[in-house]
Amino acid sequence: MVHKPSEYKSGVYVDWCPGCGNHGIVSALQMALSELSIEPHQLVIVSGVGNAAKLPHFVKANGVHTLHGRLLPFAMGIKMANPDLKVIGVGGDGDGLGIGAGHFVNAGRRNIDMVYLLHNNGVYGLTKGQASPTLKLGLQTKALAQPNINERLVAISLAIASGYTFAARSYAFDLGHLTLQRS
């Protein structure tokens, strides 16, 4: 049965700030689910902690909001125990590449059949803008006393080095590219 993208909205109030890229990502996800005709009951979305990690609340599907940085072990366990389910992990760059960096690397080694959406905004958004591992050297956010003194981690390079066999990067408001639509 085909569902319109709007039918993948959960009805939970979306409390991300106006203009935040997270809105683009959840819209693209709902468009992709519609295009692939995925039934909400066949899907599980698993997140860690952060602004990005609120996403499972906003999508009509099964959802688990787990611990900071620990979404990948949860998601991999769900997929291995229930291979017929579609499993999507989602979280921020702090969640996935800071506290969860070890899981990020080892999930690539396993490379099981699931999707991981990493919202990369360069900051710990939920806790007001501290530098995440992907913030560029020399950038200063409101929460930093001085410009960032660390080199950034490039998520896509780490993904490829870790063994992920499909790794792609896009822009949060390029919905056509995010959903791999061709004009």
Ligand X SMILES: Cc1ncc(C[n+]2csc(CCOP(=O)(O)OP(=O)(O)O)c2C)c(N)n1
Query: Which residues of the shown chain bind ligand X in the complex (CB under 6 A)?
Result: 49-52, 68, 91-95, 119, 121, 123-127, 132
Size (the chain), residues: 183
Residue 37 or 150 with smaller CB distance to ligand X: 150
Cα 72 to Cα 85: distance, rounded to the nearest angstrom: 15
Q: Is 92 in the site for Mg ion (CB under 5 A)?
A: yes
Q: How far is the CB of 91 from ligand X (least distance, A)?
A: 6
Residue 179 and residue 157: Cα distance in Å, rounded?
21
Beta bridge partners of 117: 90
Report, in Å, the least distance between residue 47 CB and ligand X. 10
How far is it, in rounded angstroms, from Cα 38 to Cα 30?
A: 10
Question: Which CB, 94 or 100, lies closer to Mg ion?
Answer: 94
Angle at 22 between CA 33 and CA 49, to 5 degrees: 100
Which is closer to ligand X, CB of 80 or CB of 137? 137
Which residues lie near Mg ion (CB under 5 A)?
A: 92-94, 121, 125, 132
